[in-house]
Amino acid sequence: MFAVGRRISKHIRITSGPQILLTSSVPSGRKFNAMNSITSAFVPNAAGDAPKQLEYIPNLKLNDRNEIPLLGYGLGTANFKRKGGPAFDEKVVNNTITAIRTGFYHLDGAEAYGNEAELGAAIKRAGVPREKLFVVTKTSVLPGETIELAFSRSLEKLGVDYVDLYLIHHPFWASSPEDQSAKWAEMEALKESGRARSIGVSNYIEKNLAPILATAKYPPAINQIEFHPYLQHGDLLEYHRKNGIAVSAFGSLTAITKAAPGPVDLIYEKLAKKYGVGPGEIALRWVLDQGVVALTTSGSEERLHGYLTKLPAFKLTPREVEEISEAGKQKHFRGFWNHKIAANDHR
């Protein structure tokens, strides 16, 4: 059973914000190295430092001082509502309630997923106070629409007074750098209103971020990108770290679910055997151990429970992270946005 709160044990306190916590200790027989011992609360930030090994998944401190849980549940992919489906999908609601009650309090949605109403229903029915949840949604920046209009529509569907994070879903709507800067100013107005606690972007690369950073009063707190060993984006992570922008990753299991066979397969298997987990946990740990937020989705309570019990119980060494990274560079694979991004674009 998992709980969310500010205290983990009589020795450890969490600073603030929603947490994914484990009430159980390390599995018997497993020991922490002294360098990773649990001695105090730890909140990593956008500098990219690997989180310490703890009995829980910590928060990541953003550049606006708000915090985001390092592990989140995504409403895209398996929960994406496609045309021809039900007007209101109870399966999406039930999947999300299962995730919340299992311990996933970071919920990542988007208007493009078509299921903001389902996410809102799950929030109401799950029985967890709103303030303990970290709710994310995104705007697609539809032609002729203001950010305010899109945001107000999302709030109504979600049935909440505010979101913890609001993102521009992609940069492909813009025809010029000036468009990016102007739209970002609209995002900043939302932040100042308090209805979007943090603001950020998704699927942006350096050329999209540069015009925003040149004029921003509040720089993006985070950029959500597809990130896995076969799509490491060159120097993009370092660019984010230099500018204090956190990174969250979707598609982290792509090397397993879409791009197998590949050069990381044997490494995943070797490390899974070493740590007594599955390849999926290795793939997510590779993301977390680079200080990147990891998003995952599943309708399986068992799998979600496994992530929350297994991921805090081990940590890849820097050498293992590098081994996966180097092997991943032997193959390029993009699982999303292929209709907008050239096949040979590694950025």
Q: Which residues contact 144 (CB under 8 A, 6 or more apart)?
A: none
Residue 195 inside a domain? The answer is yes
Measure the CA–CA gap between 128 and 43, rounded to whole angstroms: 23
How far apart, in Å, do the first and last CA atoms of the chain sit? 41
Residue 174 inside a domain? The answer is yes
State both tokens at 346: 């590694």
Residue 264 inside a domain? The answer is yes
Q: How many domains does the chain have?
A: 1
Residue 237 has φ and ψ, to the nearest 5°, of -60, -40
* Active-site residue (options: 56, 105, 113, 204): 113
Domain housing 123: 2-27+38-328
Number of H helices, E strands in the chain: 11, 14
Q: Which residues contact 17 (CB under 8 A, 6 or more apart)?
A: 59, 66, 67, 68, 69, 134
Measure the CA–CA gap between 52 and 49, rounded to whole angstroms: 9
Q: What is the pLDDT of residue 17?
A: 37
Which stretch of DSSP H or E encloses residue 131? none
Question: Cis (ω within 30 of 0) for the bond into 261?
Answer: yes
Contact present, 255 and 268 (Cβ < 8 Å): yes
- Give the residue from 62, 65, 68, 43 showing the smallest Cα distance to 54: 43
Measure the CA–CA gap between 290 and 296, rounded to whole angstroms: 16
pTM for the full predicted model:
0.85
Q: In this structure, what CATH number is given to the domain that contains residue 292?
A: 3.20.20.100
* Tens digit of pLDDT at every position of the chain (347 positions): 343 332 333 232 323 333 333 333 333 333 323 223 222 345 777 777 767 667 788 999 999 999 999 999 999 876 776 666 788 999 999 999 999 999 999 999 999 999 999 999 999 999 999 999 999 999 999 999 999 999 999 999 999 999 999 999 999 999 999 999 999 999 999 999 999 999 999 999 999 999 999 999 999 999 999 999 999 999 999 999 999 999 999 999 999 999 999 999 999 999 999 999 999 999 999 999 999 999 998 888 999 999 999 999 999 999 999 999 999 999 999 887 778 787 787 87
Measure the CA–CA gap between 37 and 52, rounded to whole angstroms: 8
Helical residues (DSSP H) of 194-316, grouped into ranges: 206-215, 236-242, 254-257, 265-275, 279-288, 301-310
State both tokens at 114: 């078509």
Residue 67 inside a domain? The answer is yes
Residue 204 falls in the annotated catalytic set: no
Q: What is the pLDDT of residue 347?
A: 79
Measure the CA–CA gap between 100 and 132, rounded to whole angstroms: 10
Residue 59 has φ and ψ, to the nearest 5°, of -90, 160
State both tokens at 125: 């029915």
Residue 32 inside a domain? The answer is no
- Give the residue from 253, 340, 255, 309 showing the smallest Cα distance to 74: 253
Residue 44 inside a domain? The answer is yes
**Would you say the C-alpha torsion 243, 171, 116, 96 has a positive or negative sign?**
negative
Residue 33 inside a domain? The answer is no
To the question of whether residue 169 is assigned a binding role by annotation, the answer is: yes
Q: What is the pLDDT of residue 56?
A: 82
Q: For residue 50, give the DSSP letter.
A: P
Measure the CA–CA gap between 49 and 55, rounded to whole angstroms: 18
Residue 168 inside a domain? The answer is yes
| Full DSSP string of 153-195 | HHHHHHT-S-EEEEEE--STT-SSHHHHHHHHHHHHHHHHHTS
Q: For residue 252, give the DSSP letter.
A: T
Q: Which residues contact 306 (CB under 8 A, 6 or more apart)?
A: 278, 281
- Give the residue from 50, 55, 46 showing the smallest Cα distance to 12: 55
